[in-house]
Structure formats: structure tokens, C-alpha cells
Amino acid sequence: MDSLTWALLITGGVGVALLVIALVLGEILNLGHVDADGPFSLPAIAAFVGGAGFIGALAASLLPDGITGGGRVVASVGIGLVGATPLAYGAIRLTRGLMGMRTDGTLTDTDLLGAQGTVITAIPGTGYGEVRLTVGGHQLKYSARAPEPLPAGTPVFVTDALSATAVEVVSTAFDR
């Protein structure tokens, strides 16, 4: 392997090192403003440097031996730079997609109001039983009280959130 290929492989390794630093240190090392995004973000620079190095090294090793001197260097570096551009663009898009990814909010008491579920442990006239509620697509178990006794299996509707783990429910069964 010649010195040009080694130099380009080392450049690619520097890009990988920058990517690892970007993953470990996050946005601390972005160039310019802390919220730097796009082509000046560290992941984009790392993808560009790494892609230019590795693609350039591949080109240097595949170019015919007939190309000598500065022509081989210019061709290898040029191919590396052209090949690295889509990688940097992909890193920008991926970073933006991950940063802007929608996440579900934290469940609050108001999310429980109106939730429907089923009594899983009978609710006595005084005291608590247990209900399984479907909230935000998740099945959750809560302690529950009701204004009247409810047997297990009764469909219920949440009328109040008493605490983080308890709700007040009413029956929605038709045969009452």
C-alpha cells in the first residue's frame, strides 16, 4: 500500500474519531454557536472527513498504476470529496430527524380523565379496588374507588384522578 492510500485511510480514521467524539460529547463541540446545525455540525463534518478519507483511499487503491505523480493525488482526493458529500448530507438529515423526532409527553392526571377500562379487583362500597385502563395506547393498572360497589369485569370510565396511582370511576355497564 502506498503513502497516498495510507494518508487517506488516516484521514478517514480522523473522521471516525470525530464521529465518536460527537456521539460521546454531543453538541459541546459544534463549531460556532452551540445550536450549530447543518453542514457545520460535528456529525456532518465527521461524515465528510471520514467519507473523503475512506472513499479517497479506495479510489487511490483502484486507480491504474499508469497515473503517476500529482494526477493520482488530485483524482483520489477529488473522488473522495465528491463521494463524501452525500455522506455529509445524510448525516445532516439523520441528525435533524433524530433531533426533531416526536416523542410522547409525560402522562398527567388530565390524561386519565375520560379513560376507559375494566375492574380487575372488585371495588367495595368503601375502599379501593383495581382497574386496568387504556391510556395513550398503554394498559395501566390503578387503584380505584367508585360511588357504588363494582364487581370484577365491569367496564368503567374515569371521572377523577385522585393521585398518581388512584382514580375514581363509574360503571359504563348497560345491565345495571
Q: CA distances (Å), 95 to each of 23, 40, 45, 82, in order?
A: 11, 12, 12, 21
pTM above 0.75, yes or no: no
Contact 15, 52 (CB under 8 A): yes
DSSP assignment, residue 116?
Answer: E
pLDDT for the residue 130: 96
* Assigned C-alpha cell, 38: 447543518
pLDDT tens, per residue, the chain with 176 residues = 788 889 999 999 998 998 888 777 765 555 555 455 667 778 888 889 999 999 999 998 888 877 777 888 899 899 999 999 999 899 888 888 887 787 777 778 888 888 999 999 999 988 999 999 988 778 899 999 999 999 999 999 999 999 888 999 999 988 65
pLDDT for the residue 176: 54
pLDDT for the residue 159: 93
pLDDT for the residue 46: 87
Q: What residues form DSSP beta bridges with 119?
A: 131
**Burial zone of 142 (CB within 10 Å; 0-12 exposed, 13-18 middle, 19+ buried):** buried
